[in-house]
Structure 1
């Protein structure tokens, strides 16, 4: 026979109960130590000592009186979202009703259902009523396209009564798309509530769904927003797509398309033009051509939102010495009620946040060296990512002639700034002399600046780089003077330059002069030399300087170092003054990070070959009412020249210059690029 005791006591640290083993030993010892006492007093003393040890052991073991309750409280939490097929939902409801009807009288049971929102369908109620389950209504869906399992569990934890064994029974397919169930599981564990899961499994052999629609979260007014719609299907099938923008159907080139199958994403792309500010709602809906290919129609719809900013007016950026030349343009814009602001780059912090305050930015004959690298990226991002409009007005400091070749703005422009297709244009030739600099990282910055210069030159120009290297016998062509037809190869060479400390300028300058004259014999008309040095080599001879002046070879010099201690300026100033006639062609560079802008600025000398100063009358190539209305109807004014560019594909080019050889050069061109 087995005896079972249901003790009402529990101990947090029962190991201390071992002290009770000391009591028999105390009783034996007390028989001797208390032998002189009367028997009844001796017994009382032993009992008292044993009681003290017993109470000490119980205190250390942290005895607790436990009132046991064998009653159970259960909350059923059932998924009613539309991802559960109707037959599986009906089976789950029957199961819950059956269990409720069989619940014991002293137990409690309740029901919570959820989709995107959780509701109590039966508060925790006593069992013993075989009709209780039949009265559970399993309420109507509120947000059937969502499944918030965590919300259902959270509500169940709050509804479970204290004083019973608490348990949650969760019936779901596990497809949660709202909330975080892991957090609620942690809360249930901390509260001592067990969670049992009854998975509602099912299988759809054929099913399509619209996974999501993607639009930019922010955009500018009067721009075209890219829209990406992602669909999935279990099997390859064909479907019809409908897109709504603020409740209006959007025309699609092809509304029907094939979905790949195997739940692989199939992406459809389009764009929508927005003309007003505020929130814009995009609603996409998917319909299977074969209705048997789709079991759950509720997952065939997706929405997305975009906030369209009411951008400000027009920002006109100009050089300080040309601000007065824009009176006619400013008057014309204001006459058309355009809010225009004229600023110089020095007056304004040109960054993306500043540019986004305007709807259009006009660059009026500004060279690339006016901006640093981060500002170049901001100008391009303003168009691509923020939906801004960018206008570049031509001039001797604009487009390729202004050093914009290879800059981020060229990517968003409707024209290429480099001329690759024209066979006969004036060429330039540039020789760079690199001398080692004693300032920290000076050589490294010099190489980076030279690379930046190469990227801004035309592929029709000549370039050569002279360095001093003892291992090859002194001054040598690290990059031989040749056409820049393969810029990547030249840049790779320049990133591996070995720059030594040359004893004199004369040898390297004579080599550079010979290379420039060789380029001149092949058609180069603009000849220029850039020397970067700390100024300590011996000065060149008068013969070399005279040869440069006789052949119209100009030079710019850049001193890099820390004042007189590491940079000897007089020789560099003298070379610039005697060859270019201007001592300001010497640049003192105390911060090597500014080298790229200096190089780009001085390389403009040879990029003047991209300027065509032959007078011409503009011709209309494409009649575009938005841009040439009022111009094309009357006689065109004669222009004195333009900057040569090369049109890209898929642009609108209303005005051109027509040549005698029937070629055309862009005069006015525009296009949409990504968001701008």
Structure 2
């Protein structure tokens, strides 16, 4: 134990300040006792302040410990969680009262489960990290941050040692340098039967018509039969039966490259007795060269004249709406996509999202063909497809449209809370109603009635002047109660009959059956009389499909059925646009050329068209052909890396059947949207390490001029981003991007120095987490960590608090207490300098001396006694003076003292004759004698007061 100072250089100030104080005291020439005491107090106060400024502390040796437990919760070690929890509980029970404990868990990143505390309330692990990776090094760094100062520090690592991120040995070495010991508790989870896909290998590029070799490497720790499933994207391409041996197994399969494009492959192994299924998949990606490949989505599954015409130039893959790819990887095999008069609610939402991302980030072409189920009347308003196309689905700036009165009657019963897909049907119904109000013009009128057992007027029928207020009211609808359709429908009809609009329409949505009935036939007859039409929407199999379809037929509207509540908004927007009768323009006209385009090269003489779907061109779009009403018929634009095209008339249907050469212009439309590749100019490679992907671009010698490259990437779950490629050498560019999920990553390399020209599309395959692929024992890593951290391998919980840590010095700061004492002494010093020492001591004695209750204070009695004695002395002096000045022989009667002292002026006693001369001669002497006596009396009284 010893005293230490934080600022030793302050200590030399102490004798200097002492010398200054002594000098000032001597200069004052005051040697009284109170002055000496004040000097001593000042010496003490200044000494305390200087010591406090020097940061004086009391040093001692620390015996208490701060132990941090790190529990490995990665997937490879999850089976050992109960054993790790028991070890931590037993260890904390064995600690001393002064010791502290913290608990943290880790996988990819560490999490604090219990902060450092002397009374940790640990029972089971609560903090669950991402378990796809094991990063021991980062966990050790967190443990160092949790360790308390003033303790001997230790980290106890409980792990299987199967590290796949970071550097645990280096981290442990750094902790040792900081005085933190790292001990290890090896956790063995035990070997389970496991067959895993180690690798799937395919060529990077093959030609169309060739066979694609697939090499599958399978690791297994047991023998037995297994089945290998081969998928191309999500479609099963084959199944093979194999025999697995212990160790590494390799199998070779092949599939024909029928069409050009990207082929994402996935293989799965299924073996009896396999206990770990998360490492049973492998991925690979190959590109098949050949003619451009186009995906055409149509309601007609067979060969059509349109498809036959396109097949002469492209490989056309025609799909029904329910069989389309729903991922960007699945669409990567196509150079272009054609949507042929398909309503949006027939297509999966994931497909619509994938189209937008593929066009924008991969340069895929997009063509939408018109018809009565396309564009706005197909429900594409506010969908990802609208974002990608060069037209808006609604009409903007149109004043000649007929006014519409629209009543939305929405079921709010309790069953509207959700469907089998987890969608909140009520929320989607409200979104649909809000979208309908967004389509309407200010001159239109809208009303919203919600119903369960009763009817609730959410929005009374009125002009759409404050759309935001209407939408807020719609958003307040909640789902509860039963279902009673007739009263709500009847009330909506009565309100709408009074509206002064050219068109009147009701949309009824429900997912159930009405509890009571009414005369629906009579109700729809009255609707016809008032020129009101009715459309019904049935959601789910519990809806009364027969009643709703009949109501739609009687109400001269349309009947919709959907099992997927996510389609409700698309149905509402389609119906709102259809009922306005302003989006379907079925009039004969000859389109006019309004802009030059390669699409129109060689096209001479435009025939008449019989109709189109009205839309609004976007600001930066190019309108190549327009209608007689200045609406776009053919519009194009650039969307990200890709091109998209809108043809608002139909393709080979009743509107365009008079155009005999339409196949030719359609082929040019599709060709204009297809990407322009320059793969031969670049060498693009991809790789990954841990959670970081890498892409490199090497340019040929003739292109060594300075370039600016980037790469757009799309992950397996649709996550997307842009990678800046930095130049690292002549013609060499590199960039990194995150790859935290297993699956196929697609990258499109872009030449930013050439107006963002899309160059090459490549793929990167990230297999399952490395947690499921490690077969080696991690004990060697654990021993290396213990050695680097100055620790050892523990077997007993009590060893976690063993007295084997290096000594640690503790410091206790004293300066706050020194300043407190100086603050107390300061007013005492002031009191000593202001009061005399004797008087101060007497007052202190009198203050602390005890006295009985009811008795006058002794100090007051003494003062009164001294005053009385002084008064008697003065009286004696006056009496003596009177006797000395009386005539000789005169009788000196005793007089009252007060009378003697009050002698009238001019009537003083006659002086004795013999005294006359003495008085006259020695007047000065007598006066002095009298004054001297008075001064003596006063001095004696003062001395008595002191006594």
Q: Please indicate the TM-score interval, normalised by the length of the shorter structure.
A: 0.3 to 0.5
Give the TM-score of the pair, scaled to structure 1: 0.47
* Structure with greater contact order relative to length (CA < 8 Å, sep ≥ 6): 2
Give the TM-score of the pair, scaled to structure 2: 0.35
- For the pair shown, the structure with the greater C-alpha radius of gyration is 2
